[in-house]
Structure 1
Amino acid sequence: MDLVILGAGGKLARLLRPLFPRKARWFARADVDIHDTAALRVALRDADAVICMAGVTNASAQPLHMNTDIAVRTLDAAQDVSAGRVILLSSAAVYGVTAGVCTEDGPTAPNSEYGKAKLVMESAAAQHPHPNTVLRLGNVAGADAILAGWVPGFRLDQLPDGSTPCRSYIGPNALARTLLQLSEATALPPLLNVAAPGCIQMGALLDAARLEWRPKPAAAATIPSVNLDTTRLRMFTEFKSSDSTPMGIVEDWQNRQS
């Protein structure tokens, strides 16, 4: 199977590449500029599957609407050379302040410009004729603002009930395995939540990693919980019970060479 992965220079790809369970063709922007149509077609020729990790975040110099442009250009090139299914990365940020468990067919309510931009990208992908699946990715240990963003004196929002914000998480090894299995699947739905089952309090995650933190009152805009429903995902991959525990996620993150 010929697997192509775009966006190799990004934070997530740099985290996952050493862990990826099989050989793939990785392309950073220095190798293939997605805006160079001819070069992109050459890169995707003969690909049985394509994972596009390229994208624009709040920290990027490019405007957020470029996420849609990147997705459409990738899908256009894949269609032009008859490549296989394209897997695009969206974000749990599209759910925003959605209450309860977030399902792929349920409501979205992004409260950030990033989440809104990803939702627009999803819409463009859904309308494209080339086969594609959009992954609404939860927090990834090691590419997040908690474990990866920790510094001495770290302060974390504490909700009025004494808890800390709860998020769906996945460790980098578990994510690498999941992405490979999805790329090899013969029939994927157009939309999938991607995270380990369950919801992890951020304070518990820091405690498991033995990273000291101090609470601060949560701001009014703080989202208490983003809990992704992974029922659909688990039709294509399996998780160990430890994948859903603070310690298991921390150990996955710390064991980045496994």
Structure 2
Amino acid sequence: MPTATRMKPGNTEKVLIVGGTGRLGGLLRLAWARQGREGLVWQSRRASDGHGLDPLGDPSGFARAAAGATTIFCLAGVTAGGPSELALNSDLALASIRAARAASVPQVFLASSAAVYGRAETGTGEDGVPQPVSDYGRAKLAMEEVALQNTGNWDNGPAVTCLRIGNVAGADQLLGTRAANGPQMLDICADGHGPRRSYIGPQALSKMLHKLFALGRGGATLPPILNIALEGAVAMDDLLEADGRSWRPMPAPPTVIPELCLDITRLSQVIGRPNRADAIEIVADYRGLVPHPTVVTERRGGVSR
């Protein structure tokens, strides 16, 4: 199988972000705006949100939007649904690679997920054998495989890196949502704590991504698969406590994975070792962008906040 030839790197950063209107995209947009990052171009199906185009239905428009870009970052994806819906993850990845090839974009990053590891019986290093247990994890693994296989089949094409991103505070189901009524329910494992997961705050993630964009723009050879998270794992009950949430425990069913901690050895070699995961710092990272909503309670004679 021929290997992909590295396209000529660009000098001025232009990152086309595909699917930037989702929960994670919204947090990254806030983080990069706070950091004063320039050269970010956001794709959306609605022109009011950026480049208005359908990456699957308008490949020529996708290529035009990518013209002059140094990087395409594909955040777009499907998290739920049947096989046909989840297969769109692979279609979106291939569309990004084809647009990059048509527009001579040297680097493509594809947002994958720690969900590809499943119960991590073979470890959570990028060279291990993933064993996803969810349909979403299997779809993301299929996306990686088809993207890297197609990249390798091209004599001249973009370099592709699949980013297996851990849980992102605020974009996850734990901190990013609230119980409609009453305390939040949380599975508690045999050790008396909630499941432990690799986590990262959106501001820390935005800085990592910026480093990777700069390396790709400079012509560095990046690995085809890269875990993205802080070092170590945090318990979900600690995160709820750090966020001041009211929550109630319930016994974890056998299907719950007690711990999934990504091996970040390769990431440390590429951009330097990240900070160690700490529940208070992770929540502070998220709340620095999205403060707690003000709770207004009507009282006789006035309003208390």
Which TM-score band (shorter chain)? over 0.9
In structure 2, C-alpha distance between the alignment counterparts of 1:190 and 1:170, rounded to whole Å: 21
Q: Does 1:66 align with 2:82?
A: no
AA aligned to 2:18 is L
| 1:19-71 per-position Cα deviation (integer Å, ceiling 9, x unaligned) | 114121111122121011110000111111111111111179x7000000000
Identify which range, 153-162 or 109-118, moves more after superposition: 153-162
Please name the residue that 2:22 is paired with.
Answer: 10
Please tell me whether Structure 1 or Structure 2 has the larger radius of gyration of its CA atoms: 2
In structure 1, C-alpha distance between the alignment counterparts of 2:274 and 2:288, rounded to whole Å: 16
1:215 counterpart SS class: strand
Q: List aligned pairs for 1:134-153, cutoff 5 A.
A: 134-151=162-179, 152-153=182-183
In structure 1, C-alpha distance between the alignment counterparts of 2:130 and 2:221, rounded to whole Å: 25
Please name the residue that 1:221 is paired with.
Answer: 255
| 1:122-142 per-position Cα deviation (integer Å, ceiling 9, x unaligned) | 001111233100000100000
User: Structure 2: which 5+ residue stretches go unaligned?
Assistant: 1-12, 47-51, 152-156, 291-305
2:211 counterpart SS class: helix
2:94 counterpart SS class: helix
In structure 1, C-alpha distance between the alignment counterparts of 2:122 and 2:260, rounded to whole Å: 8
User: Structure 1: which 5+ residue stretches go unaligned?
Assistant: none
In structure 2, C-alpha distance between the alignment counterparts of 1:28 and 1:155, rounded to whole Å: 34
Residue 188 (structure 1) aligned to one of 222, 240, 247: 222
Q: Does 1:162 align with 2:199?
A: no
Alpha carbons 2:231, 2:274 under 8 Å: kept:
no
AA aligned to 1:33 is D
Percentage identity across paired residues of the two chains: 40
Structure 1 153/59 Cα, relative in aligned 2: closer, same or farther at 3 Å? Answer: farther
Structure 1 134/72 Cα, relative in aligned 2: closer, same or farther at 3 Å? Answer: same
RMSD of aligned residue pairs (Cα, Å): 1.9
Alpha carbons 1:102, 1:228 under 8 Å: kept:
yes
2:264 counterpart SS class: coil
In structure 1, C-alpha distance between the alignment counterparts of 2:169 and 2:264, rounded to whole Å: 17
TM superposition shift of 1:147: 0.9
Structure 1 79/191 Cα, relative in aligned 2: closer, same or farther at 3 Å? Answer: same
Structure 1 59/16 Cα, relative in aligned 2: closer, same or farther at 3 Å? Answer: farther
AA aligned to 1:251 is A
1:133 counterpart SS class: strand
Q: Does 1:87 align with 2:97?
A: no
Structure 1 108/19 Cα, relative in aligned 2: closer, same or farther at 3 Å? Answer: same
TM superposition shift of 1:198: 0.6
- Structure 1 outlier segments of 4+, above 4 Å: none
Q: TM-score, with normalisation over the residues of structure 1? A: 0.94
1:71 counterpart SS class: helix
1:118 counterpart SS class: helix
TM superposition shift of 1:150: 2.8
Please name the residue that 1:199 is paired with.
Answer: 233
In structure 2, C-alpha distance between the alignment counterparts of 1:238 and 1:244, rounded to whole Å: 15
2:271 counterpart SS class: coil
AA aligned to 1:29 is R
Please name the residue that 1:117 is paired with.
Answer: 139
Q: List aligned pairs for 1:34-73, cutoff 5 A.
A: 34-35=55-56, 36-58=58-80, 63-73=85-95
